[in-house]
Amino acid sequence: MWADLAPVGRDPDGGGYHRHAWNGADTDARAWFTEAATARGLDVRTDRNGNLWAWWGTPGPGAVATGSHLDSVPDGGAFDGPLGVVGALAAVDELRRRGTVPDRPLAVTVFAEEEGGRFGVPCLGSRLTAGEISPERARGLTDASGTTWARAMEAAGHDPHAIGADPGALADLDVFVELHVEQGRALEDTRHPVGVASAIWPHGRWRMDFAGRADHAGTTRMADRSDPMLPFAHTVLAARSLAEEHDARATVAKALVTPNGTNAIPSLVSAWLDARAADGATLDAVVAGVREAAGRAARAHGVDHAMANESLTPLVSFAHGLRERLAEVVATRAPEPGVPVLPTGAGHDAGVLAAHVPTAMLYVRNPTGVSHSPEEWARPEDCHDGVLALADVLQDLLAR
Ligand code: GLV
Ligand code: MN
Ligand code: MN
Ligand code: MN
């Protein structure tokens, strides 16, 4: 199964993955899923927001759901997302091998645009379903070439006018579990192949625009410039210091320079701040500090500055009883006692669903500790342990 999906969207020159909502690779990955799920006798449906649901049993109330996403960040790794989808199908195989006959429906899900790699808002498919973003705003989101979500979705054969909150779909779910590669080294350090999630840090994305005046790089005296690159650079350094000061995370990893010529002072620098912290107050303090530093630097350089929030996910604490239960189930196969229960700074569809459905996550050890990069990794034997743990958990949940 993994071998069929692995080449889809991978840079043929040895880089990472480029699967982004509704692009060719994403469409191929979704087709792969539909075929793999159908071959297992699952009934594959696409919901109004373009998320895929493969049902074992008749869709309806009391359902157990598990899954993840198939899209990647630009130049992403192989496991973030696909492990939770392939793992869910493999867990279905395992349950069938055990002779499990679910007395309630099980859904394997693939959520659209989890990374926000193309349209900027992460977990867009699950956010739409949860009613946490308006259909109007989602339809109008644009990619780097100016294509809207609505046009891209339509070109992929889906009706963008149908998108929006789907409370009925969520009301049918009794529980959602996402299997995911760990995006740090805690499991490697504690020598556990599988761990359980405790919480997701509050996190968000902010767009920052620094608007100056384009001019000649050789003839414009330094004192006469209104160069947006300078306050932008100050802001990147300020974000770093603020994150260190608050024991938080702040990253500026995406920037667009206009007109992007070597010998023209830029007229505009647009950049995105990704900020995350252990609690909402700390996150607010970091973002307020960045906003203030950016404003100050912009004024000092005669540049206009604007900063707007594009997405925000508050602190997620996974259902306590559920995660205890997962930890107990995982402990039955763990190589040593004390299954790690870990908070993460990474966002997930599970974090969006958690406000509506009892939700939990399992992590599979990542020996490199690296994620959102081609170096992301999980050993085959650990993936196998993750699948068995997921199957145990689903079996336990389906029996209730
Ligand atoms: C998504 O994986 C994120 O945390 O950015
Ligand atoms: Mn990710
Ligand atoms: Mn992910
Ligand atoms: Mn994610």
pLDDT of 82-136, one tens digit each?
A: 999 999 999 999 999 999 999 899 999 999 999 999 999 999 999 999 999 999 9
Asked whether the predicted pLDDT for residue 329 surpasses 90, the reply is yes
Question: Is the CB of 347 inside a 6 Å radius of any atom of ligand 1?
Answer: yes
Burial class (CB in 10 A: 0-12, 13-18, 19+), 353: buried
Give the single-character DSSP code of 278: S
Asked whether the predicted pLDDT for residue 400 surpasses 90, the reply is no
Instruction: Name the pLDDT band for 214 (thresholds 50, 70, 90).
Output: very high
What is the percentage of the chain residues whose pLDDT exceeds 90? 98
Mean residue pLDDT of the chain comes to 97
Report pLDDT for 103.
87
What is the percentage of the chain residues whose pLDDT exceeds 70? 100
| Nearest to 250, CA basis, from 272, 228, 280, 279 | 272
Query: Distance between CA atoms of 391 and 60, rounded to whole angstroms?
Result: 21
Domain boundaries, the chain: 2-201+315-398, 203-313
Dump pLDDT digits (tens) for 244-261. 999 999 999 999 999 999
pTM: 0.96
Say what angle helices 82-97 and 24-39 make with each other, to 10 degrees. Answer: 10
| CA-to-CA separations, 233 to 163, 229, 270, in angstroms, rounded | 39, 6, 12
Show the tokens assigned to 79.
């496991």
Question: Is the CB of 115 inside a 6 Å radius of any atom of ligand 1?
Answer: yes
Question: Is the CB of 376 inside a 6 Å radius of any atom of ligand 1?
Answer: no
Report pLDDT for 392.
97
| CA-to-CA separations, 370 to 84, 367, 374, in angstroms, rounded | 17, 8, 8
For domain 2-201+315-398, give the CATH superfamily.
Zn peptidases (3.40.630.10)
Using the mean position of ligand 2's atoms as its centre, give its distance from the Cα of residue 230 in Å.
31
Hey, what amino acid is at 287? V
- Counting ligand 1 atoms within 8 A of each CB, the residue from 17, 71, 115 with the most, and so the one to mutate, is 115
User: Ligand 3 (ion): which residues have CB within 5 A?
Assistant: 80-81
ipTM of this complex prediction, to 2 decimal places: 0.90
Instruction: Name the pLDDT band for 74 (thresholds 50, 70, 90).
Output: very high
Dump pLDDT digits (tens) for 12-45. 998 999 999 999 999 999 999 999 999 999 999 9
CATH of domain 203-313: 3.30.70.360
Report pLDDT for 109.
98
Report pLDDT for 14.
83
